[in-house]
Amino acid sequence: MIERVLSFVFGGGRNVIKETAEVFRENAEGAAQRAQDVQIAAMQGHAAEFRAQDRGRFDRVMDAVNRLPRPAMALGCLALFVSAMVDPVWFAARMSGIALVPEPLWWLLGVVVSFYFGARHQAKGQEFQRSMTENLKRVPEVIDTLEALEGSVRAEAQSPMEGGENPVLVEWREHSSGGATK
């Protein structure tokens, strides 16, 4: 009789209790697997979007050229201060010429500079995200390494010292017991 009840509940390779419980409560193991699949798919999509590309000589030269404007502008401002102190008449003549530039041209210059640095900021931000994705891929390896190191440190701390007892403790005990008998 017990055999018939058990075969009814667990017979045919099925688990009726488990199947009934899953009607009312989500299978935690299945949910975890689905969540992991979603996370892996998201990481793969992210990695594909920011995959490092082999860059040719032209791209490397353009990156080098793109690094010049900001230092050139900063050094140019410092040079203006130096030129104002060294030759004020020359500096005044140049600044008078700049004062004659029409306002719409200043607006155009502002737009061009803003778009240049904005695009550069965007490109560098994407490059940063790509490097973060590569670093996140290494997290499990780092965790495994840390756990291995912690395990070896614990093993060393728990293992007895070679040669028996600690010589410093032996000396301290002798010294302590010798001081008490005096």
Residue 179 has pLDDT above 70, yes or no: no
Residue 98 Cα to chain centre, angstroms: 46
- CA 151, 157, 160, 162 torsion-angle sign: positive
Q: Choose among 63, 57, 71, 55: nearest CA to 120.
A: 63
Condensed to tens digits (0 to 9), the pLDDT of residues 46-102 reads 777 777 677 788 888 887 887 888 889 899 999 999 999 999 999 999 989 989 999
Mean pLDDT is lowest, of 11-25, 29-43, 101-115, for: 11-25
Please tell me the predicted confidence (pLDDT) of residue 26: 81
Q: What is the pLDDT of residues 3-23, one digit of tens each?
A: 777 776 666 666 777 777 777
- Of 56, 49, 60, which Cα lies nearest the Cα of 134? 49
Could you tell me which of 133, 142, 135, 131 has the C-alpha nearest to residue 42? 133
